[in-house]
Amino acid sequence: MPDLTDVVAQIARDMARAETRGTVASYIPELAKVDPRQFGICVIDHDGKVHAAGDADVPFSIQSVSKVFTLTMALGKVGDQIWTRVGREPSGNPFNSIVQLEREAGIPRNPFINAGAIVVSDILLEGHKPREAIGSILSFVRDLADDQTIIVDSAVARSETQTGFRNVALANYMRAFGNLQNAPELTLGVYFHQCAISMSCRQLATAVQFLAHDGFNPAVGRRVVSSERARRIAALMLTCGHYDGSGDFAFQVGIPGKSGVGGGIIAVVPGKAAIAVWSPGLNKVGNSLLGAVALERLTRAMNWSIFASR
């Protein structure tokens, strides 16, 4: 087996030089300002050793990567009841699509497309004020990453609040079907702020470690979820974590992952590694172009596909 530190360093060097880098998301104006030449990677192996390279310590907007953390919280709050309001099937549609919602009576296909994540935010908001819900999401993520310095980038949250018309439409549409309990603008306030959390690859790899260790976060020595729940969250990441690019990601990379339009991807190799990569340029379906290339190179070099027998 090649040396992981060398593999990570080589990938970072190659990705820094890559010419085709995708396109930075511009529908959230604040994200359009990010320099596309950046690339970061952090891999935490089974023994907790951290292998970081490139821009691994530069914070970026985690966007939909946050949906893994809010799903984990909502499962803790309402358990399997969540599945009466959100499905568990890949959508085969873009992350912000509204078309399925009409045919499927306001029940989003899965918790990782925007509609599904908005329902998850609505669940976290129930019984709280938006400020409290946002605060508890932030402290959950800070605890997972073992880093109390993590913040919400208010400029990004504001930018999306001013331009997130599709999300406003999704929220109102689901409210019309009775699948949103709170006022749409309050639920969206929570959703936009969770998406605007800023984290580095190092912080994200630490935060997702619990999914590589059957629900136990070794960085803080604490169980986050049961092993069954960890497996199920990872299963959803594999089938739904990259929207209508999920099939291709499973085919090319072969591990559960979750992307965001900020260019981040978190991924896990159960029992072996927790990974975060970041490069702001996106492919046609809104997933980090070089992030996916880097993960493919990594899993190939380390023989880390979850479908490999050894």
Site residues for ligand GLN per CB under 6 A? 63-64, 95-96, 114, 160, 167, 195, 260-261, 286
Which CB atom, from 63 or from 200, has the smaller least distance to ligand GLN?
A: 63
Question: CA 197, CA 178: separation in Å to the nearest integer?
Answer: 29
Q: Shortest gap between Cβ of 195 and ligand GLN (angstroms)?
A: 4
Question: CA 141, CA 154: separation in Å to the nearest integer?
Answer: 17
Residue nearest ligand GLN, Cβ-based: 64
Q: Is 19 exposed, middle or buried (0-12, 13-18, 19+ CB in 10 A)?
A: exposed
The sign of the dihedral angle between the CA atoms of 131, 136, 137, 143 is positive
User: Which candidate in 243, 246, 268, 288 is catalytic?
Assistant: 243
- Directed axis angle between helix 184-195 and helix 114-125, to 10°? 110
CA–CA distance from 79 to each of 119, 227, 239 (Å)? 14, 14, 20
Which CB atom, from 95 or from 304, has the smaller least distance to ligand GLN?
A: 95
DSSP helix/strand/coil, 215: coil
Question: CA 262, CA 32: separation in Å to the nearest integer?
Answer: 9
Q: Shortest gap between Cβ of 64 and ligand GLN (angstroms)?
A: 3
**Structure tokens of 168?**
């406003």
Q: Is 243 one of the catalytic residues?
A: yes
Question: CA 104, CA 171: separation in Å to the nearest integer?
Answer: 15
Please name which of 83, 32, 45 lies closest in space to residue 213, comparing C-alpha atoms: 45
Q: Shortest gap between Cβ of 51 and ligand GLN (angstroms)?
A: 26
Q: Shortest gap between Cβ of 93 and ligand GLN (angstroms)?
A: 12
User: Which candidate in 8, 86, 190, 191 is catalytic?
Assistant: 191
User: Which candidate in 24, 261, 269, 293 is catalytic?
Assistant: 261
User: Which candidate in 7, 43, 64, 120 is catalytic?
Assistant: 64
Q: Shortest gap between Cβ of 88 and ligand GLN (angstroms)?
A: 18
User: Which candidate in 8, 24, 67, 86 is catalytic?
Assistant: 67
CA–CA distance from 157 to each of 129, 130, 135, 188, 307 (Å)? 17, 13, 14, 10, 38
Which CB atom, from 73 or from 196, has the smaller least distance to ligand GLN?
A: 196
Q: Is 10 exposed, middle or buried (0-12, 13-18, 19+ CB in 10 A)?
A: middle
Q: Is 261 one of the catalytic residues?
A: yes
Per the DSSP assignment, residues forming a β-bridge with 231 are: none
Q: Is 67 one of the catalytic residues?
A: yes
Which CB atom, from 10 or from 198, has the smaller least distance to ligand GLN?
A: 198
Which CB atom, from 30 or from 55, has the smaller least distance to ligand GLN?
A: 30
Which CB atom, from 96 or from 239, has the smaller least distance to ligand GLN?
A: 96
Q: Is 284 one of the catalytic residues?
A: no
Residues with catalytic annotation? Answer: 64, 67, 191, 243, 261
